[in-house]
Amino acid sequence: MSAIEIAARVRSGEISAVAVAREAIATIRAKNDAINAVTRILEDRALAEARAVDDIVAAGRDPGPLAGVPYGVKDLFDVAGLPTTAGAGMRRNAAPAVADAEAISRLRAAGAVLVATLNMDEFAYGFVTVNAAFGTTRNPRDVSRLAGGSSGGSAAAVAAGMLPLALGSDTNGSIRVPAALCGIYGLRPTQDALPTQGTFPFVESFDTIGPFATSIADLDAAWRALGGVGQPHGSPRVARLSGWFDRTLSHDAARLLDSQFAGLERVEWADVERARSAAFLMTAREGGLRHLPELRTRALEFDPATRDRLIAGALLPETAYRAAQAFRAEFRACILPLFDRQDVLVAPCIGEGAPLIDDPFLTFGGERVPARANLGLLAQPISFIGLPVIAAPLRHAGPLPLGIQLIGRPGGEADLFTYATGLEAQGIIGCATAA
């Protein structure tokens, strides 16, 4: 069932929230060994929250728009009474969180039921969810392939049908990349539009949170429950981002995009590759400096693949970081006026299907590059300037999912949802959960 269907049936009393929670827990137990998306099942908490929803229904009151909907959160959201690991083995025994993250509190107020915490790249630094402490999350569409990251557990849990909704975070593409590789929807909202209080930070310049779902209606409901607001501006004006974005595409991806969006005006952004490089640099330095005290005293406790990148970032000169910040302001000033002519821009999310776990590389510019650092090549220039993006799966992609980015002006989420709803109705985008 979709999240919206679950909520409607729970509110009407047709099914109980407790029954829905028990079914979600059973599904996780049946499927998670093959996928490794879930790090902790929160059975006692889930059943207590579900009983509270059922009590509200029994009293004749409305428990909220997400009544009884089970969901999970990336393991960098504070869950009261549990350590927030941020995907790091060295934080397994951290002091328990004293309160829930604000996003969790908002979903609970909307009637949703927290069932699980979900796997991620250590400290959110990666696009693969290959984790030395908590294992690799496998792609439900093909378990020999990467689920993407760093919110890979969130995307995989939804794609596998374990949960109808999940929360992740997106710094440089960590919602959009796994959504695209797993063939589901994900939302990176406008920078600072949704609350990040109570989430373990990575790069404050770019960090956001957002939901995953298997339909645009469910994604919209989760966004609004989290605090998303806005109305569309009539019929959205749409164009397609080309240039650098097209040069990254595989032959099959280029052919599919050309066939589905043939009539759109082409728009090319200047300095996109430079924007990606500047985002990469800012990420490395902010992330490295954040973890510098532990790198000096507990370096061997880090995941080696994360540790070396953090050390390299901490060694970057401040002058380079300041130059990247200055370019960010210039790039933003050049790009935002383009939205005077368009409301939505369509771009690929990743130029090819999910890489193999045993061969974690992708092709870029005719060269093989590591997936961990480079799956966000097409995502980073967008989040560099804080724009909202819906990642949506193309319906006719073939055996491996391919995702697109629907990009809007700051605060333009409602236009994105309007356009995405139309594409879904036409059968251009859409997903089905894995078996």
The pair of structure tokens assigned to 325 is: 């910040």
Report the distance separating Cα 158 and Cα 152, nearest Å.
10
Is residue 259 part of the annotated active site? The answer reads no
What residues contact 26, with CB distance under 8 A and at least 6 apart?
none
Report the distance separating Cα 420 and Cα 428, nearest Å.
9
Is residue 174 part of the annotated active site? The answer reads yes
Report the distance separating Cα 341 and Cα 333, nearest Å.
15
Q: b/e string for 192-222 if b means 16 or more Cβ within 10 A?
A: ebbbbebbbbbbebbbbbbbbbbbbbbbbbb
Of the residues 16, 150, 154, 169, only one is catalytic, namely 150
What residues contact 207, with CB distance under 8 A and at least 6 apart?
169, 170, 171, 196, 199, 201
Report the distance separating Cα 381 and Cα 349, nearest Å.
11
- Under 8 Å between Cβ of 143 and 61: no
Within 10 angstroms of residue 27's Cβ, the number of other Cβ atoms is: 17
Q: Which H or E run includes 420?
A: helix 413-426
Of the residues 16, 31, 74, 383, only one is catalytic, namely 74
Question: What are residue 130's DSSP bridge partners?
Answer: 136
- Under 8 Å between Cβ of 65 and 224: yes
Of the residues 16, 154, 169, 174, only one is catalytic, namely 174
Question: What are residue 71's DSSP bridge partners?
Answer: 114, 165
Cα 137 to Cα 205, 319, 392: the distances in Å are: 27, 37, 21
Report the distance separating Cα 66 and Cα 8, nearest Å.
8
Peptide bond into 105 cis (omega under 30): no
Is residue 74 part of the annotated active site? The answer reads yes
Within 10 angstroms of residue 304's Cβ, the number of other Cβ atoms is: 11
Question: What are residue 429's DSSP bridge partners?
Answer: 394
Active site residues: 74, 150, 174
